Every structure is written in C-alpha cells, then in structure tokens.
Amino acid sequence: MYDNVNPFEEVKKQINIVREKADIDSTVADQLKHPRQIITVSIPIKMDNDDLKIFTGYRVQYNMWRGPYKGGIRYHPSVELDEVKALAAWMTFKTSVVDIPYGGAKGGIVCDPKTMSCTELERLTRRYTSMIMDVIGPFKDVPAPDVGTDSQTMAWIMDTYSSIKGYSIPEIVTGKPINLGGSQGREGATGLSVAICARIAANKIGLKLSGARVAVQGYGKVGYATAKSLNEMGCKIIALSDTKGCIVNQKGIDPQKAKEFKNKTGSIYGLEGCNKIPLNDLLEIDCDILVPAALENSITENNCDKIKAKIISEGANGPTTPKADETLFEKGVFVVPDVLANAGGVTVSYFEWVQNLNRDRWSLAEVNKRLEERMINSFEEVHAFSEQMNASMRTAAYVLALKRLEEAHLKLGLFP
C-alpha cells in the first residue's frame, strides 16, 4: 500500500462521503461497511523440492443483495486481509454501477507466483479450491482471475470443483480458456472498458483522441489492453511503467512491441528508443490521459497536485484515495473511477456466466457490442448524477451504486 494508506478504511470513508451527500438509509450504509463473511485458510502444499510450505488464503464475501457473490482471486506477496476486503467492497459497488445481477467478493493467496513453478501453482490452486468448496458455487460465489492469476488458474478451479461434484460445471468460474467455456473478449475486456470510458470523457471535455498523449502506470494485462485500445482509437502512448521502472517516448510507443519486449525480458524497462525515468514520476508526466493500472492507493493527497493529465481513467482498483479525488475534482481533472472504468472485466464475466448457464456461445463482435452499450449507458447515468449533484464522477458512481443496493435491501428486508 502506498503512503501506508489502508484501502478498506478508504472504502468506509467513501461510503461516509456518499451518505452525507445523498439520502442513503443509515442501516444500509452501516451494513455496507462490513463484509458478510470472511474465510481464512491455511493451505499446505508440497513444493517441487519436497518441502512442505503453508500459504495463507482468503475469500471475502462482501454483499449479495443484488445477486451471487462475484470477484477475482489475487496471487501476490503483498495480499493482506484489509486489501481483500476493500477489493470485495469495490466489486459490490462496481456490479451495482453497471447494473449486473451480482454482489461482490474477492479472494487472495499470499504468494509470489513469479517464483513458483506451474506444478506448484496448480497444487496451490487445487488445494485452495477444495478448502473453499462449501462457500463457492455457480449461484453462490463465482471467482475470476485477478493480479497474478489467469485463465489457466480458472481452468484448475473449474476442474477441481467439477471433479468433486461429479460433472462439468463451467459456470463455477469466469475468465476460463475459450475452449473450456470462456467468453470471447474476456481477456481484454477490462482494458477495453477503461479505453471506452476515456474516449467518452474526452468527448465530454472536447479533447480530440487523435494524437492525445497517454501515460499508463502498470503494464500488465489491463495496462496493455488499455494502451492497445487507446492506440487503435488514435491516441499516442508516450509513457509506460511496470515494477522495474518507467519508459518515455514523446514520439509514441508501440503497445505490441512493448508487450513483446516485456515477455522476452521480464520488463518494459530498457525498450529501445525510450528514455528511462524514476518509477513514480509517471503519474506526474505531462499527458492528456493518465491510466493508473497498477495497485491501489497510487494517487494520494501527497502527489495529486502534481498530476497534469486532463483525464484519468482508472484501470486498477482503488488507485485514488477519496481525499485525492476531491482535490482532482477541484482542479478540473476528469476522473473516471475504477467502479465504472474497469467494470468491463466483470461485465464480460457476467456475459460468460450467462453463456455457460445456457450452454451458448457468443461471437467477439456480439460480446464487444454488448460491452460497448453497457459501458456507454453506465457512463451516461453516472455523468448525469455528477452534473446534477455538482460532484465528482466517483461520488456520483457511489451514489448510483448505493441507491441500487439500498433499493434491493429495503425490498428484501432483514432476515430473520
């Protein structure tokens, strides 16, 4: 976490901000500050050298007023419980913002997948799945990939769950390989939605996308897909960063070449024709569109004054603290919040789940068309709230999300 900011405390602050600005039922707001259920497991697996190692895993099921729990599983050395709780809360709000029938959840295992073999990761995934079997299910809790996990991870979860149940259940996870029931367009959906939101925001402020300068913090799956999509829309990618460093080229960086270089060397740092600058300087680069696609709390009150971008479209979850968001709004920076901008991933996950339940297949064109429509509609709904309230897009998105959650809860009632 940046600046020792606790992400879950930031979630609760955001709920308080919204509660003050909108007429949200107090019992609803209070409940949304607490996850419904937290599962912590100790996962023993045999490493390739025959040593036994015990990993800590989590599954936080936050809220299911609007549908089954939904959320990714993260493999990362810095995974800790408050982070997972925050991610589960953000997923609850995200599914509500884009109006899909899911709740919110998140999982994580404290490990470094970059130092583990494929067989070790498989054993870890299968054991973790078996240990949380009773709390997940197609109509209960549907996992997906996140940082450090991918379609292969989801295939192992699907196979483990299906093997124990005795029949194939592809709808237990989303983000699977295409030939196992995965959806076309799922892998790049999060980045595509970030790019779509940046495009709409640019239109709102009169910024031409042709030649617009883009900086992307975090050149992983989301960062690459966003850069690629924005580049195809006419933007010029001038800066990229990953965990090793930041590169800049004012003439433009080819997203595909940067990806190929990273796949070959392990980092974009050192790409030919680019200048190297300190990692944290990327956020302060003079650009038109900034895409924070790394980890949470990258933009805080300590560095937001130095941001020069006209638009921020958030690829990561929770990259901006509430205080920083207020400052950016006052500065006139158009921030498209994570709960809207990166909702393409969970939206196409929903499409995948629907396809699996119906044993159906949609074309890439059909998936992208449905994603585009939902993102445009959701953006316009949030923007209308923003203008009506004279508030930031983040505050407006949370108001919309909490209003929908409030309506669901008050109709359902409290049992018993």
Residues 193 and 161 in one domain: no
Contacts of 42 (CB under 8 A, 6+ apart): 54, 55, 56, 57
Q: What are the backbone angles phi and psi of residue 55, rounded to the nearest 5°?
A: -105, 150
Rounded Cα distance, 237 and 105, in Å = 33
Last residue of a domain, one of 156, 180, 204: 180
Secondary structure of 135-158 in HEC code, one letter for each residue: HCECCCEEEEECCCCCHHHHHHHH
The C-alpha angle 375, 377, 381, rounded to 5 degrees, equals 115
Last residue of a domain, one of 148, 180, 212: 180
Residues in the chain, pLDDT under 70: 1-3
Q: What DSSP line would sit under 68-102, residue for residue?
A: SEEEEEEEETT--HHHHHHHHHHHHHHHHHTT-S-
Residues 141 and 223 in one domain: no
In a domain, 95, yes or no: yes
Rounded Cα distance, 282 and 347, in Å = 29
Residues 198 and 216 in one domain: yes
Rounded Cα distance, 356 and 172, in Å = 9
Residues 161 and 241 in one domain: no
Contact between residue 251 and residue 271 where contact means Cβ atoms under 8 Å apart: no
pLDDT on residue 296: 82
pLDDT on residue 416: 84
Q: What is the CATH number of the domain that holds 262?
A: 3.40.50.720
Tell how far CA 236 is from the center of its chain: 24
Last residue of a domain, one of 341, 356, 384: 341
In a domain, 152, yes or no: yes
Give the structural domain span for 243. Answer: 189-341
In a domain, 105, yes or no: yes
Catalytic residue among 70, 94, 106, 259: 106
In a domain, 416, yes or no: no
Residues 111 and 231 in one domain: no
Rounded Cα distance, 344 and 349, in Å = 8
β-strand pairing of 289-292 with 104-110: unpaired
- The pLDDT tens digits of the residues spanning 279-337 come to 889 999 999 999 999 978 899 999 999 999 999 999 999 999 999 999 999 999 999 99
Contact between residue 197 and residue 98 where contact means Cβ atoms under 8 Å apart: no
What six digits make up the tokens of 117? Answer: 């073999």
In a domain, 68, yes or no: yes
In a domain, 142, yes or no: yes
Number of domains in the chain: 2
Residues 231 and 304 in one domain: yes
In a domain, 61, yes or no: yes
What six digits make up the tokens of 172? Answer: 């237990």
| Amino acid making up residue 112 | D
Closest CA to 39 of 113, 176, 122, 136: 136
In a domain, 242, yes or no: yes
Residues 193 and 335 in one domain: yes
Residues 206 and 64 in one domain: no
Please give the order of strands across the beta sheet that includes 104-110: 37-46, 52-63, 104-110, 69-76, 141-145
Other Cβ atoms closer than 10 A to 377: 12
Asked if 176 is an active-site residue, the reply is no
Residues 198 and 160 in one domain: no
Q: Is the peptide bond before 416 cis (omega within 30 degrees of 0)?
A: yes
Residues 65 and 163 in one domain: yes
Rounded Cα distance, 72 and 91, in Å = 9
Residues 166 and 196 in one domain: no
CA dihedral over 341, 342, 346, 349, signed as positive or negative: positive
pLDDT on residue 3: 55
β-strand pairing of 275-277 with 245-248: antiparallel
Q: Is 106 helix (H, G, I), strand (E, B) or coil?
A: strand
Residues 202 and 307 in one domain: yes
Q: What is the CATH number of the domain that holds 91?
A: 3.40.50.10860
The C-alpha angle 73, 189, 256, rounded to 5 degrees, equals 105
